[in-house]
Amino acid sequence: MEKENRFKLFMPPRLSAGQVSAGRSQGFNRCSDDDFKLPFDVWSRGEITDSDTISQQVKLCSEVDEENPETMNELFSKLYKEAEKIKQWKLTVETELNQKERKLQENRKIIEAQNKAIQELQFENGKLHLKLEDEICENKDLLKEAAASRHLCNLLKETYTRFTEKTSKYEQEKEATIQLYEELHSNVERMTVAFEELCVQAENDRLEMSFKLKEEAEKVDKFEKECRLEVSQKEKQIPALTIQRDEKDDVIKDIKAQLQTSQNKIADLMEAKLHNEEMLKESQVSKEHLRVELEEAKISLQKAEVAQKNLETEFQTTVKTLIQVTGEKEEQEEECKKMKALLAALTEEFETSVANLKSLLQEEQNRLKKSEDDSKLLTLELQNKSAELEEMTKVKCDKEVQLEELSETLKEFHGLKAQLTSTAEKEQDYLKQLVTLKTDLEQEALKNEQLTVYLSKLSLEKEQTAQEKNAVAAELKKLQEQQEDSKKKEDNTKQLVENLEEANSQLRNELESLKEKMAKTGEEMKSTLDEREENMNNLKKQVENKTKCMEELQQENKVLKKKITTESKKSNTYEGKVNKLQLEMENINKQHKEEVDIYKKDIETRKVNENKLREEVEKMRLLCDETAMIQRETDARCQHKITEMVALMEKHKNEYDKLVEEKDAELKVYKMKQQKQISSERALENELSCLKKELSSLKEQLKAEMEEKENFVKEHSGSMIPESEKKHKTYVIKTPPRDKMQSGRSTNLPAEQSSRKKQKVLVQLDTQSDSSEHTDLLSIVSEEEMFKNLYKDYPQASQLHSTAPKKSPAPCSVKSPGSALKLKTMRRMREAGWTALSKMDRKRKIKDAVKLFA
């Protein structure tokens, strides 16, 4: 229990440990000596804080337990003291408890307030949390926005950079475009300047071209005139020149005949030459044979020499026999001498023949020289003749120049060309002939040269033969010497006589053969010489003939040369002129082509224009056709309308005539009535005057009565007055027109009736009529004013109008303001108007149509 109380007591000191501990310490200090130690111990044990006191209390308790008997009294005293202490302590504790309770309450209140505050703070914290969350969200949002803005900023930066780049590019391009613009502008300006310059140049060029064309045209005209004059002049000269040409043609023909003869002669000469060549060949062959024979003779002579040498050797052995043989040798020597003489004679003869041949050669050379001289002379003559021919050709040239001048004319150009071609051909033929003649001449010259060559060769051969003969003579001399030697050696060579005899015999034989051969050769030589002589004679003759022919040929050559020169000159001149003419023709052709091209271009442009114009013409034709059709249609319509109108007019006229007749009758009746009415009117006028007077009096009475009535009405009622007044007014109003009507009806009734009838008639006509225009007119024709207004445009109608109203007022004034005159005037006006309308309408329509198609 005490422990429990101890434990229970232990509770409160926790709360207020500090306060209690002080009190308890005091209590311990006080109650240490009390009896109630256990409770004090207990109470002291309650003091948690004072562990020392607790230990002291324990010690006290322990001491107390030991000291029970002794100290019971002390304890009781102590207990009393402690009890008192305890009481005091209780009181204090109670006060403290109360205080503490108060404090606790206060603390509780405070706690509550603090709790409230805490709750409020918690609320606030919650709110703040919310706000913070909101703010956090907002911050997050802001961060997001910031991030987005950062992104945007980055994008903007990027775009900025791109934009800057693009702007830089644009600026570059701008600059480039500006430069291009400037360049283009400058180029365009240059182009404009160039175009203007081109215009100016073109104008200047055209002016120049025009001037040039004019000048050239003038020149051409002048040239044409000059050419014409020259043509005329040369036409005059043509016949004479033709005569001369004919003469020359005859001459040419003669020359041709001569050429033909010369050609024949040349052919003959050629044949003779051939024969001579053959003969020469034969002579050459014979010469060759002679040469061969001479060589054989040489060989034989050599052989003889060999044999002689042998004989010499044999002579030495046969000296003895030489004596016997000397005589024979002498004889032989004599014979040899004879032979020598013969040989000498032969040599002499050969020499003479050679001399003769030489002389002949010389003669022939002389003759050749003569022939040459003759040929030279002939050439000179040919030259002279060529000069003459040249002169002739010059004359011909002059004449042909004239002819060429003629040929320059356009008309005879082709003829002259043909003539020129023919002459050229003739000239070419001549040239060919000349060439042939030249060739013939050359050939003949060649042949002559060949002949000379042959002759020279012959001479050379003769010289050679002479030389050979000389050589032979020399050899013979040598033989003689040898024979002399042999004579000297005869003594030594008698032994060889037999051999020598044999040899001599052989030699004799050989000699005989040789003699024979020599004779033969001599004969042959003679024959050959004879033949040569003959040939030479023939050659001479031929040379003579040839010279003659040469002369003739040279003459002909000269003539032909002259002709050739002349004709060559002619041909040259012709060619030159032909070339000139060709150039001129080419130029003219070019000009013509250019002009043709220009004309073609013009033609094309004109064709284009023509086509355009044709198209336009066709269009216009179509339009014309259409307009014609329209015209026709309009005319037809007009005619239809006119016919209709005419029909209507006729109808109306018929009707009007009928009406006129009726109205005439009515007029007569009305006239009668008028007359009656006039008489009645007079009477009525009298009555009217009386009646007027009565009416005036009545009026005065009525007025007085009206005034009285009005007064009565005003007195009775105010509403009845106006009706009465009105009635009176109406009554009053009605009266005058009735009076007037009564007065005027007698006179105007027929007019009004007629007018009304007119109106009625008009209305009937209006309903019945089909035409449009005239109906209106009909409706309006009832009055003169309307007629005037209508017929202002029609002068004819105005005349009628002028005439009509003149007539109208006269009869009207005479008779009466009745309807008969009006009817008549109206009839006339209408008729005039109809006619005028018909005429003017047609005229107007025709004018309109004319204007449309004009």
Partner 1 sequence: MAESESQEGNDYNRGRMVENIKTDMEELLEEMEKLTVRAAWMAYSYTAIQSNADLSNAMQHSEDAFLMCKEQMEKKWQEVLLESRREREKKE
Binding region for partner 1 (CB under 8 A)? 139, 142-143, 146, 149-150, 153, 156-157, 160, 163-164, 167, 170-171, 174, 177-178, 181, 184-185, 188-189, 191-192, 195-196, 198-199, 202-203, 206, 209-210, 213-214, 217, 221, 598, 602, 605
Nearest approach, Cβ of residue 590 and partner 1 (Å):
16
Contact 319, 494 (CB under 8 A): yes
Residue (206 or 640) nearer to partner 1, CB:
206
Which of 771, 526, 802 lies closest to 645, judged by CA?
771
Residue (80 or 195) nearer to partner 1, CB:
195
Contact 93, 23 (CB under 8 A): yes
Residue (203 or 625) nearer to partner 1, CB:
203
d(CA 600, CA 593): 10
Residue (209 or 672) nearer to partner 1, CB:
209
The pairs formed by 751-755 with CB atoms below 8 angstroms and a separation of 24 or more are: 751/817, 751/818, 751/819, 751/822, 753/819, 754/663, 754/666, 754/670, 754/818, 754/819, 754/822, 754/823, 755/782, 755/819, 755/822
- The full DSSP string for 113-180 is HHHHHHHHHHHHHHHHHHHHHHHHHHHHHHHHHHHHHHHHHHHHHHHHHHHHHHHHHHHHHHHHHHHH
Which residues are CB-neighbours of 385 under 8 A, at least 6 positions away?
555, 558, 559, 562
Residue (156 or 240) nearer to partner 1, CB:
156
d(CA 432, CA 421): 15
Per-residue burial over 722-749, b if 16 or more Cβ lie within 10 Å, else e, is eebbeebeeeeeeeeeeeeeebeebbbe
Contact 826, 794 (CB under 8 A): no
Nearest approach, Cβ of residue 440 and partner 1 (Å):
58
Nearest approach, Cβ of residue 214 and partner 1 (Å):
7
Residue (193 or 690) nearer to partner 1, CB:
193
Contact 407, 584 (CB under 8 A): no
Nearest approach, Cβ of residue 231 and partner 1 (Å):
17
Nearest approach, Cβ of residue 134 and partner 1 (Å):
14
Nearest approach, Cβ of residue 790 and partner 1 (Å):
58
Contact 469, 350 (CB under 8 A): yes
d(CA 382, CA 372): 14
d(CA 545, CA 537): 12
Residue (150 or 640) nearer to partner 1, CB:
150
Q: Return the residue matching tokens 């010279």.
A: 547
d(CA 183, CA 176): 10
Nearest approach, Cβ of residue 190 and partner 1 (Å):
9
Nearest approach, Cβ of residue 130 and partner 1 (Å):
16
Residue (112 or 205) nearer to partner 1, CB:
205
**Max alpha carbon distance in the chain (Å)?**
258
Nearest approach, Cβ of residue 124 and partner 1 (Å):
17
Q: Return the residue matching tokens 């003419």.
A: 581
Nearest approach, Cβ of residue 582 and partner 1 (Å):
24
Residue (134 or 544) nearer to partner 1, CB:
134
Nearest approach, Cβ of residue 217 and partner 1 (Å):
5
Residue (160 or 731) nearer to partner 1, CB:
160
Residue (598 or 636) nearer to partner 1, CB:
598
Nearest approach, Cβ of residue 159 and partner 1 (Å):
9
Contact 691, 739 (CB under 8 A): no
Contact 220, 524 (CB under 8 A): no
d(CA 252, CA 567): 12
Token pair recorded at residue 671: 């006239």
Residue (212 or 740) nearer to partner 1, CB:
212
Q: Return the residue matching tokens 């005229």.
A: 843
Nearest approach, Cβ of residue 126 and partner 1 (Å):
17
Residue (306 or 603) nearer to partner 1, CB:
603
